[in-house]
Amino acid sequence: MRAGLLRDAPDGLTRRARTFVATHGARVDVRPVERHRRWWLERDVPAAVIDRMAAYQQRWGGLLLPPAPRYDGGPRCLDPDAPEGSDAEGWRFEAGTQRTAVPYSFLIGPAGEFGIHADRWAPLHATVEGWVESVALAYHASQWARRITTLTGDDVDAVERDGYEPVAEVRGLADTWWRSADSLVAVYTGEAETLGFPRGRVAVVYSGLDDWGLRGGG
């Protein structure tokens, strides 16, 4: 495996996320999806699904990011593998291998969602870009916040979100971000949903932020 620094980040990201990926990310060589096309076709994986995997690899394959603050850091390396599903329920494929022994897989859903799967499918963000934006925002907020508060389980319901607006660029589904005049709140429910474990919900409040801390070029 050969790694190299990125000269630029994929397009479609905010300036904050592009800077994060270009500064802290790297690329490693990966095996082309096309090498396995015949093998998957022989096992009744539709050609359109393999095309989606190839497109994902073209855009994201081999990307290494710093560990995410939740999900034991997220995928070690973004790269597709192991398509699963059916025409009736939709097809998903592996988004990348785990960094640690977590009890779920990181998958790309039928509509391009980034999520996790254990007992059930839990899409975290509507797109891969949303996942990358969320990791970049977490790093940014943790650098600029005067105070960081973490709540779990039922305490998440106590987080006041009146006057907050959703952070659109993270394209949140199970995981969402919210912005007020001086704070950011990240709400993570993916593990609770995929494992059927409500106490697994987590909220992180980043408070005491100025305008740069709130947006950082986003």
| Dihedral sign from CA coordinates of 97, 22, 207, 173 | negative
For residue 188, what is the enclosing H or E element?
strand 183-188
pTM: 0.93
From first to last of the 218 residues of the chain, give the pLDDT tens digit.
444 445 556 778 999 999 999 899 999 999 999 999 999 999 999 999 999 999 999 999 999 999 999 999 999 999 999 999 999 999 999 999 999 999 999 999 999 999 999 989 999 999 999 999 999 999 999 999 999 999 999 999 999 888 899 999 999 999 999 999 999 999 999 999 999 999 999 999 999 999 999 998 77
Q: Where are the domains of the chain?
A: 3-132, 139-215
The contacts of residue 127 (CB under 8 Å, 6+ apart) are 112, 113, 114, 171
Sheet containing 175-179: order of strands: 147-152, 202-207, 183-188, 175-179, 165-166
